[in-house]
Amino acid sequence: MSFSDQDAFLAEVLNNKVDKEDIPEKVSTELIENITTRELVNLLNDFSFCNAQIDLDDGDSIFSVSVEAARLLFFSNNSWSAHCGVDFFGVMVTIPLGFDTDFISKFNQNTKIGRLYTINQSCEATIYRVDVHLTGGVSKRHIYYMIKTFIDCFKQLYAGLLAKEGVYEQ
């Protein structure tokens, strides 16, 4: 793949950032400083990101949601649960093919929503991850923006994977 094709694909991915004016009015501007697993699941359903039954035990510090043909993993430290809130959670997904290091470097330099990582030197898979920090308080609109942009960028990366754009070629 040529650099210009790769740059065009990168631009497509990065242009998937949610325009803050497009966030639905129903998404609250209420500030929160921590969130439990149950509260985050409820927010995801309120945001209509998954609208699915998520099996979640009260002690779970991790859960996943299906998006496209993948599972997004929501996680925090081992004390996170339905009863114990945290001021940070992360979201990650494995993309089953590696992107070349130039693409990963350019992506990571040009976005604030998530980072790409190769799993190993063979570039057989890529991790896409974002951390959402609530320290000091953030609005539910901000959480929506972070997760929605992450999902939209992932969908574009996945579409590129299917089309073999920007993908590491052995």
Q: Is residue 151 part of a domain?
A: yes
Q: Please, are residues 60 and 82 in contact by the beta-carbon 8 Å criterion?
A: yes
Strands 126-133 and 138-139: unpaired
Describe the strand order of the beta sheet including 115-118 as a list of residue ranges: 62-67, 70-75, 88-95, 126-133, 115-118
Is residue 9 within a helix (H) or strand (E), and if so which, with residue range?
helix 3-14
Query: Cα 93 to chain center, whole Å?
Result: 7
Domain count, the chain: 1
> Across the strands, what pairs with 62?
75
Q: Please, are residues 129 and 90 in contact by the beta-carbon 8 Å criterion?
A: yes
DSSP class of residue 39 equals H
Q: Is residue 116 part of a domain?
A: yes
What would the pLDDT profile of 27-37 be if each residue is shown by its tens digit?
A: 677 788 999 99
Q: Is residue 20 part of a domain?
A: no
pTM: 0.82
What would the pLDDT profile of 78-107 be if each residue is shown by its tens digit?
A: 899 999 999 999 999 988 777 778 888 888
Measure the CA–CA gap between 151 and 145, rounded to whole angstroms: 10
Q: Is residue 3 part of a domain?
A: no
| pLDDT at residue number 58 | 84
Q: Is residue 16 part of a domain?
A: no
Residue 64 phi, psi dihedral angles, 5° rounding: -130, 160
> Across the strands, what pairs with 127?
94, 117
What would the pLDDT profile of 148-160 be if each residue is shown by its tens digit?
A: 889 888 888 888 7
Q: What is the span of the domain harbouring residue 57?
A: 35-162
The CATH number of whichever domain residue 61 belongs to comes to 3.30.1460.10
DSSP codes joined into one string, 83-127? S--BSEEEEEEEESSPBPHHHHHHHHHH-SS-EEEESSTT---EE
Q: Is residue 138 part of a domain?
A: yes
| pLDDT at residue number 20 | 66
Q: Is residue 65 part of a domain?
A: yes
Q: Is residue 44 part of a domain?
A: yes
